[in-house]
Structure 1
Amino acid sequence: MRSVVDRSAEAPAIWSRNFRYYFTARSAGLLGDAMLPVAVSAGLIGAGHGLGTVGFALAFLMGPFAGLVLFGGVLADRFTARRMMIGADLANLTTRILLAVLFFRGIDQLWQLYALLAVAGTAAAMFQPGAASTVPLVARDVQGANGVLRTAEAFTGLLGPALAGLLVGSAATGWVMLIAAVTFGISAACLLALRLGTVPAPPPGDSLWRNLVVGWHEFRARSWLWGVIVIWLFFTVLSWGPQMPIAAGLIVPEYGPTVYGLLNCAFGAGTVLGGLLAIRYKPERPLAAGAVAMLVFPLYPIGIVAGWPVWLLAAAQLVVGVGLTFWGVMWATNVQTQVPGEVLNRIHAYEVAGSVCMFPIGSALAGPAVEAFGATRVLQVGIVVSFLVVAALLLTRPIRTLHRVPDRP
């Protein structure tokens, strides 16, 4: 056993001392993460580099995350999630300082930028598995805590890019990196202040590969878990992933970037409302309720295809944000409460690798698909796939009938 929760029965269901520190850590880290893509993209373009360079830079950021997140789960189970997250935050702090120096000085050799972004992507892969597994350790009301965290994620997802764009336009990209470094310093300090109890460790002497295999067996043993991942894979590759670049390609030329930004803000507002809804509403069968909420997802692409006015598209985005976030909280809470703590980091890593990492593939396929079939047809396919995904979730018995785990007393 290793020291990783003060599970005092008198602690608040959500806003315990530990959760306040964890909430601050996640909010700060998410803000720093949200600033990076915009800052790098704007900084490179402002320095005279082309879109190809921007694409390579973002690939060096995302590639290590997709390739190493499974090992991040193994290491988090072996060394504790808290230690891995603190180490990742310190690595992110260091890379942001070095990126600031690089942008202040001027990028003479792109390999230096690519190397630092690869380190940042690796740090994200080491951090992410523990981010989910820590929630049950710091809050008795796991679903409510996830709702609060999703609300914070929505706010930082809106604030981070806006702040980065403002600073790049009025000052310099280097200042964005320095501010991001501060956010990761705050995150590391708050994680260090957590007072956690004990979680079981993997058997001593097991190799990393053995731990990875055990995680895979635990993943396969839960049909509701891998069932959702398989269904979600089709959703991200065929519907959600292509939708974002196609929507931008259709809306920006017709209405301008300001309208497109407002539509994204409407989605962000919806995610906030979805998080608040998830704090209050606790269905007995969470995945079934979340699947029903996903019925609203096709509203936005339907509106684009049908030529809805901007105000109606914004309303659709608001509702879609509510539905997606509610599903996300239901899903995260079930994973965190149904899976044993000793393998939770590895299970979450498999979840991320099988769902979130498929999103860039769907986005990358959007361009060739539009050239071959047209934007409208690709969106129509995505609409049909969205409804089929909901049907598959509700028709799969282990998913539909899974009951929620009661909050800890």
Structure 2
Amino acid sequence: MTTGGRDIVADAEAGRAVTRRPVWSRDFGLFFVARAVARLGDTMLPVALAAGLLQHGYGAGAVGLAMAATAAAFAGLVVFGGVIADRFSTRKLMIGADLVRLGTQSLAAVLFYSGHVVLWQICAIGFVNGVAGAVFQPGVASTVPRLASDVQGANGAIRIAESSAQLAGPAAAGLLVGFASPGGVFAAHAATYAISALCLLLLRLPAPAADAGTSHHGGSGAFRADLVEGWREFRSRTWLWGVIAIWCVYMIAVWGPTVPLVATEVVQQHGPRAYGLVNSALGAGTVVGGLLALRLRPRRMLRAGAVSLFAFAGFPATVGAGLDVPFMAAGAAVAGAGMSFWGVMWATSVQTQVQPDVLNRIHAYDVAGSLAMMPVGQALAGPAASVVGADHVLLFAGTVSFAIPLAMLSVPAIRNLIRADAPKPITAPGPLHDRSCPEPTT
């Protein structure tokens, strides 16, 4: 997953002369905790939804629809969230989004505790959560480079934090479902948003290095102009929209059906505690992937990340093949490592290759494109499982998992993208050394 030790040595010998903000500081620590705690709650949610809806007589299709409601709202509105994040305080927007989700998940906890569970109400709550997430997410991309100049190191640390939370979250959710009720999981999820909001409230965020000539104020015309500018910047980078186009296939064929079907299959066949174990193994693997991303500094980050994605096939394939829980857990762990490493390579590439004044909008287009097909995959998971069987759908997802990285590696702009912090000469940059272009010459 790296182009060799020469790249790492070259980066180490480069010794950048600019003043660097260290990864670890009071403010990055607060952001680190906020992301870890929020992720803890998010990884508890699939267990609560699967166990709670199955307990009230619903099936895999209902679980998929409930997840799809959140994903559809998020994917459909995150582009507008990116424009809003470029025009207003990202910290205040993130705090407000956390407070909204604190309220919705508290309401869900009341519904499950009372036993009054109606699918449309759960989907409506999920939709509101998706809207709040669409406002929250764009600010994450621009916050990381504002807190630490070692963007890959910061992303790796956050990935490890989120992965550690994923390791603990499903297991904790399984225990809460087993010894209390799904309502207890939703109450715990609500509490994680309260903690995240508090951490962000205490955060002192440095001012962004925005283009002084760019204005993000005005009426609806300026709002539309910001949308158009974000799209133009997004479209100008072949490596960016190329990955997103391929990722749409990944979401509809792999990730979309995998999440609800794995949850439903494992809970039905082995119980919620077994699903907690499998999902915790996925979290353990993502910790390993984050540690690798902290250590390895490949010159061509997207190439290395694409190679790591081959490992994800083990997650849906082991469940679809009906293997025992230890084998499913092993497949999940390997898949988590590959996905985590890819995530750091991708996030760092976007955050370092795109100028700060349009980063929120670019990230919003990135997220919207990445997730656009996920609700389709989730909504189709139940009907597809009814027609051909959940095991065949998961085996198909495992097969497609091999095709996705092959498609990425076949695109020169993706596989040949040079990291933005590659060593530069001290002299004035010439045509061969200018990294300001959105794409390298391939």
TM-score bucket of the superposed structures, by smaller chain: 0.7 to 0.9
1:320 partner letter: A
Alignment counterpart, residue 22 of structure 1, candidates 14, 31, 44: 31
Q: Are 2:74 and 1:65 equivalent residues in the alignment?
A: yes
**Amino acid across the alignment from 1:78:** R
Q: Determine the structure 1 residue equivalent to 2:302.
A: 287
Matching residue within 201, 204, 217 for 2:232: 217
How far residue 281 of structure 1 moved from its aligned partner, in angstroms, is: 0.8
Q: In 2, are the aligned partners of 1:35 and 1:160 still within 8 Å (CA)?
A: yes
- Displacement of 1:226 in angstroms is 0.2
**1:320 corresponding residue in structure 2:** 335
Selected match of 2:191 from 175, 179, 182: 182
Aligned to 1:392: 407
Distance (whole Å) between structure 2 residues aligned to residue 308 and residue 44 of structure 1? 25
- Specify which of 32, 41, 47 is matched with residue 32 of structure 1: 41
Q: For residues 136 and 52 of structure 2, what CA distance do their matches in structure 1 show?
A: 26
CA distance in 2 between counterparts of 1:370 and 1:173 reads: 25
CA distance in 2, matches of 1:380, 1:401: 31
**Match for residue 196 of structure 1?**
206
8 Å contact 2:165–2:283 — kept in the other structure? no
The CA deviation string for residues 316-350 of structure 1, in whole angstroms up to 9 with x for no partner, is: 33222211111111001101111111111111111
Q: Is the 8 A contact 2:173 2:185 kept in 1?
A: yes
Q: 1:287 to 1:367 in 2, by over 3 A?
A: same
Are 2:58 and 1:50 aligned? yes
- In structure 2, the CA distance between the partners of 1:175 and 1:362, relative to structure 1 (3 Å rule), is closer
Per the alignment, do residues 203 and 161 of structure 1 end up closer, same or farther by CA in structure 2, a change over 3 Å counting? same
Alignment of 1:66-105 (within 5 A): 66-102=75-111
1:323 & 1:335 partners in 2: Cα distance?
19
The one-letter amino acid of 1:195's match is L
Superposition pairs of residues 222-233 of structure 1, within 5 angstroms: 222-233=237-248
Q: Measure the CA separation in 1 of the matches of 2:161 and 2:53.
A: 29
Q: Which consecutive residues of structure 2, in runs of 5 or more, have no partner in the other structure?
A: 1-17, 424-442
Query: Match for residue 5 of structure 1?
Result: none
Total equivalences in the alignment: 400
Q: Does 1:136 align with 2:141?
A: no
Q: How far does residue 31 in structure 1 lie from its aligned partner after superposition? A: 2.5
1:162 alignment counterpart:
171
Return the alpha-carbon distance in structure 2 between the equivalents of residues 61 and 160 of structure 1.
Answer: 19
Q: In the aligned structure 2, how far is the partner of 1:42 from the partner of 1:308?
A: 21
Stretch of structure 1 that moved more, 204-213 or 71-80? 204-213
Q: Who is 1:403 aligned against? A: 418
CA RMSD across the alignment: 3.4
Distance in 1 between the 2:311 and 2:204 partners? Answer: 38
- 1:339-379: CA deviation from partner (whole Å, max 9, x where unpaired): 11111111111111112342232233344445555666655
Question: Distance in 2 between the 1:61 and 1:236 partners?
Answer: 15
Kept in 1: contact 2:72–2:375 (CA 8 A):
no
Change (3 A) 1:202 1:174: farther
Could you tell me whether the CA contact under 8 Å between 1:202 and 1:342 is conserved in 2? no
**What's the secondary structure of 2:373's corresponding residue?**
helix
- Point out the more displaced range, 124-133 or 240-249: 240-249
Q: Which residue in the other structure is 2:284 paired with?
A: 269
Structure 2 equivalent of residue 359 of structure 1: 374
TM-aligned CA deviation for residue 250 of structure 1? 6.4
**Alignment match, 2:19:** 9
Matched, 1:148 2:168: no
Pick which of 203-212 and 297-306 moved more. Answer: 297-306
Distance 1:11 1:187 in 2: 23
Q: Secondary structure at the match of 1:404?
A: coil
**Corresponding letter in the other structure for 1:353:** A
CA contact (8 A) 1:22 1:194 kept: no
Change in Cα spacing, 1:61 to 1:389, as seen in structure 2 (3 Å) is closer
TM-score of the two chains, using structure 2 as the length reference: 0.78
The Cα of 1:106 is off from its aligned counterpart by 6.0
Identity %: 52
- Matched to 1:405, the amino acid is A
C-alpha distance in structure 2 between counterparts of 1:50 and 1:250, whole Å: 14
Residues 148-189 of structure 1, C-alpha deviation per residue, up to 9 Å, x if partnerless?
111222222243343344334444555544443432232222
Deviations 1:121-143, CA, capped at 9 Å, x for gaps: 21111111112221111112111
Distance across 2 between alignment mates of 1:94 and 1:53: 23
Q: Deviations over 1:88-147 (max 9, x none)?
A: 112223334444555556648877655544332211111111122211111121111111
Match of 1:278 in 2: 293
